[in-house]
A and B are shown apart, each in its own frame.
Chain A
Amino acid sequence: MGQTMAEKLLSQHNLAGKPVRAGDILEARIDGAMCHYHASQPMYELAVEAGFKDGLPRVWDPERIFVLVDHHQPALSQALADENMIIRREVARLGIKCFHDAEPGIAHQMMLDYGLARPGELVVGNDSHTIGYGAVNAGATGITRADMFYVLLFGELWFQVPKSIKVVLDGRHPRYPIAKDIILYLAGEHGDDLAQNMSVEYSGSLVPELGIDGRMCLSTHGVEIGAKFAMFPADEKTRGFLKGRTDKPYEPLVPDPDAEYEKEIRLNVDDMPFVVAKPHQFGNVAPVEEAAGTRIQQAQIGSCANGRFEDIEIAARMLKGRKVAKGVRFLISPASQQVYLQCLKAGLIEQLVEAGAQVVTPGCGVCQPKVGFLSDGEVCITATTRNFKGRKGSLGAEIYLAGPLTVTAAAVAGAIVNPKEVFNEL
């Protein structure tokens, strides 16, 4: 019997040096570890609790650890500025080579911008959306802080080999991003734990049409459906994206034709409606018409799910000659400085500002949240990662998740609406 991508990945990284199958427990060799802001104080506290009174005594390989200040850049308070000082001290003490400090942006986007996650590698990060690097065929997954403590010391970690789900996407790619609608639709149809503890492998005739941006949205949201990995095959677009970003060799993961899957899910995007996730869960999905007419006070595009060029480009393109509705705060946050620059050079930022949108510094801010808190009774529609109750402040606010096109339509109309009713050019 052949192997899935996840079985190949973990067999190749098995410290015991033998092939593994779904269900096996193993200790695996780690290729890269992404640490964002939690690399400092919590790691120090964990070390002290475990009995290392001076903090972590070493790191296993200073060149395989990537520290990005991420969530707390620029610092929002003195407490966070103090914490950032500890990160700098620890990075210097431990000799970590790759450190992105004075650069705002989302760690996950920067990991890909800088070519730090490559096809076939086992990459971990102490953030749930680390899984997004599966967009470039990396075996990437989020781990916990205490897991990261172990990885930093030894470069190894325990895993259970996941069962795999094959998601086959077919249909024609429209002239606007659809990744968000795809993942929301799947969560709505099959449940928000449809891939619990499993590995998702994307395939189908739509995949070559999806850009790396769309793949990143789908892989990043793997965690919203419970997945351990969410991987795309490496193709021409993958190689094109990596060119100039990394000069290290890599070997893509290719599943065997007779690999065994727990289940197969097929979706033809031609038949897919525009959807929203209603408050307060990712799987609470309905066609956009079901929420149509709901007045909004805030709209957002950003985060590791949707802060990319294609997400911002569609907003700028649709806003050309239009205005954001009076009283609506439309926040747009590029995922990284590189994405921001790409948008600037393409003239998108000017169009957005002219139409009445606000641009927020690259980073996790609009999703986390650190900007754009909501008050009681306010409604926000957002192309970001999560819509949990209280995610953006008040427990009495309502958050709808949607793709960037649907968010932009709502920003123009002042209410949730099918984008085709607002944008007759579609």
Chain B
Amino acid sequence: MSFDLNRVIRGRVWKFGDSIETDAINPYYRHPTMEELKQHTMEAYRPEFPKQVKPGDILVAGRNFGCGSSRPGLVLREVGIAAILAESVSRLFLRNNIARAMPIFMAPGVTGIVQDGETLEIDYRQGVVRNPASGASVALRKFPPLIEKIFQCGGLPEFARERYLAETSR
């Protein structure tokens, strides 16, 4: 699924704390299928999340979001999360989101400009996150060109296929 980094994303915010782990995002040892996961993702922190999250919502978190294992956070896309914004993101969670082209942005200071339930606007091209209600904004970190290209391709497996086809059709 290709993702256009330059599309402005606007959505209602679900706000979480620091060091939210992949066990909470993707508790697949307790809930092995995607349908079950969708009923339980993030319940360790906010039991109402799986029931009340709506397509287009934005997840805002503190530092070290997605720490723990190398499990992907695909379930967040499945329940409709349009983008993740965090003060900082754990290395493997970031790699997962890049490799599966799921929008994730590091924006230091973002937890200070938005309350739970408010709306945020993410403008990657301008490199800024805004709270339209309060007018507050913070900068988001741009990705290097190679990573932008992986997002454009729709993820690393898709990027790999393009390369493979180019190499084998010579």
Contacts and interface: CB of A to CB of B under 8 A. Distances in A.
A386 B68 contact: yes
A337 interface: no
A182 to B, nearest CB: 20
B80 interface: no
Given A145-B70, A388-B23, A393-B30, A150 B157 contact: yes
Interface residues of A, number: 46
B84 to A, nearest CB: 15
Interface string A232-247: 0000000000000000
The 9 A-B pairs of least Cβ separation, nearest first, read A146-B99, A50-B157, A193-B64, A388-B23, A144-B96, A389-B44, A50-B161, A146-B156, A128-B70
B88 A196 contact: yes
Interface string B44-75: 10000000000000000001100111101000
Contacts of B164: 57, 153
Contact of B91 (A192, A197, A280): A197
B100 interface: yes
A121 B155 CA distance: 27
B111 interface: no
Nearest to B99: A146
Contact of A192 (B24, B27, B43, B64): B64
B21 A388 contact: yes
Nearest to A71: B29
Given A50-B160, A150-B157, A390-B23, A196 B96 contact: no
B144 interface: yes
Which of B146, B157, B159 has most chain A Cβ within 10 Å? Answer: B157
Interface string B88-123: 101110011001100000000000000000000000
Contacts of B72: 144-146
A142 B21 contact: no
Given A226-B91, A369-B29, A391 B96 contact: no
Contacts of B146: 25, 27, 158
A391 B21 CA distance: 11
A57 B92 CA distance: 26
Interface string B147-170: 100000001111111011000000
B59 to A, nearest CB: 18
Contacts of A154: 160, 163
A27 B27 CA distance: 32
Nearest to A145: B72
Contacts of A142: 70, 92
Contacts of A79: 32
B19 interface: yes
Contacts of A280: 44
Interface string B114-142: 00000000000000000000000000000
Contacts of A12: none
A124 B19 CA distance: 24
A51 B161 contact: yes
A84 B163 CA distance: 30
Nearest to B157: A50
Given A25-B146, A390-B44, A395-B44, A226 B157 contact: no
A420 to B, nearest CB: 31
Contact of A226 (B44, B67, B159): B67
Contacts of A369: 29
Contacts of A196: 64, 88, 90-91
Contacts of A414: none
A336 interface: no
Nearest to A27: B146
Given A25-B144, A153-B160, A395-B44, A144 B99 contact: yes
B67 A192 contact: yes
27 contacts: A50-B158, A127-B69, A128-B70, A142-B92, A144-B72, A144-B96, A144-B99, A145-B99, A146-B96, A146-B100, A146-B156, A147-B99, A149-B157, A150-B160, A158-B146, A158-B147, A193-B63, A193-B90, A197-B91, A226-B91, A368-B29, A386-B21, A386-B68, A390-B30, A390-B44, A391-B23, A395-B44
Contacts of A358: none
A343 B158 CA distance: 47
Contacts of B100: 146
A127 B91 contact: no
A9 interface: no
A393 B31 CA distance: 10
